[in-house]
Amino acid sequence: MKDQEIKEIKALLSAPKNIVITTHKNPDGDAIGSTLALHQYLSALGHNSVVITPNEYPNFLKWVPCEKSVIKYSNDTKKAILAIEKADLIFTLDFNHLSRTGEMENTLAKAETTFVMIDHHQQPDTYAKYTYSDINMCSTCQMIYHFIEKIGDVDKITPEIATCIYVGIMTDTGSFRFRSTTSTTHRVVADLIDRGADNTTIHERIYDTNTISRLRLKGIALNNLRVLPEFNTAYISISQQELDQNNFKKGDTEGFVNLGLSIDGVKFAVIFIENKGEGIIKISLRSKGDFSVNEFSRNHFEGGGHHNASGGKSNLSLSDTIEKFISILPDYKNVLNQ
Ligand code: 5GP
Ligand code: MN
């Protein structure tokens, strides 16, 4: 983001505004952390700010500071539409295309107001007047830190804001291990701890919240794990029936895709999760090294994301989706064997 743009945004924020902050469907730790951090910062500046998510998010995020104020478009559509219609400014965080907001897309597309995008996904769309996009950033939360820093307000980062930002950096970096984790990330995180983020407690609240049924579901995922050694690829599938039999709750399958990637030699891991309600198979893809799962899901599964972490979907049945997946792999044999 250019200095001139920061100047203009600063000018926009110099008088109280109605502000909507929104994020992608099925919000994750980075989506919830970044929206709530920005919300608390803007509220402290005197703005009337609300966070709207397209739908529900997992229970392990239901403690993040200010989380109770979030409006879920799917449950509270009228209230959400009203807030969007009267917004002077709309911040869209942690996504690169309005279609990532699902049912909210039309309402957002109709809003004739100023959009600000802050995001780290590849190939950002151009709907926003101000776009702060950096695909080298580990998380949108780190970008929120830099955004506040550019405005000259790091001292306004409260323990609650620091906690929100920490949540998104921690979850999007796989606890500071992915390649996107830089020395700057660690410096930002150190500053967040100094400003009151309680790192041990945050880890516990996000990661030590398993239910017995979630652990059983993980057992099923491991049982269904298949390895294709000739492609250094592993995949997992979970059917709707398996979800139902294990009291599935949103977020229960979070991170399961990484089980495949933890196998020695595996460079490409995928999970296929049947969603009968939406009539789709939701797909998560992860890779190590040069193989781009962003391209792979863009080309074959109506998705996208990052170089090493992406998502997509399929309208075929679970078994046909897997069959399609396996039939594509020979085209990538060389890059998967490098
Ligand atoms: P996850 O597998 O954790 O749902 O998503 C991994 C990454 O891919 C996230 O950064 C997410 O924003 C992106 N992603 C997930 N699903 C989709 C999708 O259907 N379309 C696009 N363009 N990106 C997705
Ligand atoms: Mn993110």
* 91-116 CB burial, b ≥16 within 10 A, e <16: bbbbbbbbebbeebeebbeebebbbb
| Residue 58 in contact with ligand 1 by CB distance below 6 A | no
What are 211-247's pLDDT values in tens digits? 999 999 999 999 999 999 999 999 999 999 999 999 9
Using DSSP, state whether 78 is helix, strand or coil.
helix
- Between 1 and 112, the more confident residue is 112
For the CA of 298, the nearest atom of ligand 1: 22
Q: Where are the beta strands (DSSP E) in the chain?
A: 18-23, 48-53, 71-72, 89-93, 114-119, 130-133, 226-228, 233-238, 268-275, 280-287, 304-305, 309-314
Mean pLDDT of 272-292: 97
Q: How confident is the model at residue 170 (pLDDT cuts 50, 70, 90)?
A: very high
Q: Where are the beta strands (DSSP E) in 146-276?
A: 226-228, 233-238, 268-275
Angle at which helix 318-328 crosses helix 293-300, to 10 degrees, equals 120
Using DSSP, state whether 204 is helix, strand or coil.
helix
| Residue 313 in contact with ligand 1 by CB distance below 6 A | yes
Q: Which residue's C-alpha comes closest to atom 10 of ligand 1?
A: 305
Mean pLDDT of 2-8: 94
Cβ 235 vs Cβ 271: under 8 Å: yes
What are 113-131's pLDDT values in tens digits? 999 999 999 999 999 999 9
Can you say how many angstroms the Cα of residue 249 is from the centroid of all Cα atoms in its chain? Answer: 18
d(CA 297, CA 137) in angstroms, rounded, equals 21
For the CA of 294, the nearest atom of ligand 1: 8
Q: Which residue's C-alpha comes closest to atom 11 of ligand 1?
A: 305
Cβ 70 vs Cβ 39: under 8 Å: no
pLDDT at 330 over 90: yes
| Residue 304 in contact with ligand 1 by CB distance below 6 A | yes
CA of 191 to the centre of ligand 2 (A): 20
Q: Across the chain, what does the average pLDDT equal?
A: 97
Mean pLDDT of 106-112: 97
Q: Provide the Cα torsion 87, 89, 95, 97; round to 10°.
A: 80
Ligand nearest to the CA of 171: 2
d(CA 37, CA 22) in angstroms, rounded, equals 12
Q: How confident is the model at residue 1 (pLDDT cuts 50, 70, 90)?
A: confident
Using DSSP, state whether 49 is helix, strand or coil.
strand
pLDDT at 302 over 90: yes
d(CA 68, CA 239) in angstroms, rounded, equals 32
Pairing, β 233-238 against β 226-228: antiparallel
What are 241-278's pLDDT values in tens digits? 999 999 999 889 999 999 999 999 999 999 999 999 99
pLDDT at 205 over 90: yes
d(CA 72, CA 60) in angstroms, rounded, equals 17
Using DSSP, state whether 214 is helix, strand or coil.
helix
Mean pLDDT of 10-34: 97
Percent of the chain with pLDDT over 70: 100
Mean pLDDT of 285-313: 96
Mean pLDDT of 76-104: 98
Report angle CA 208, 212, 214 to the nearest 5 degrees: 75
Residues 6+ positions from 218 with CB-CB distance below 8 Å: 256, 259
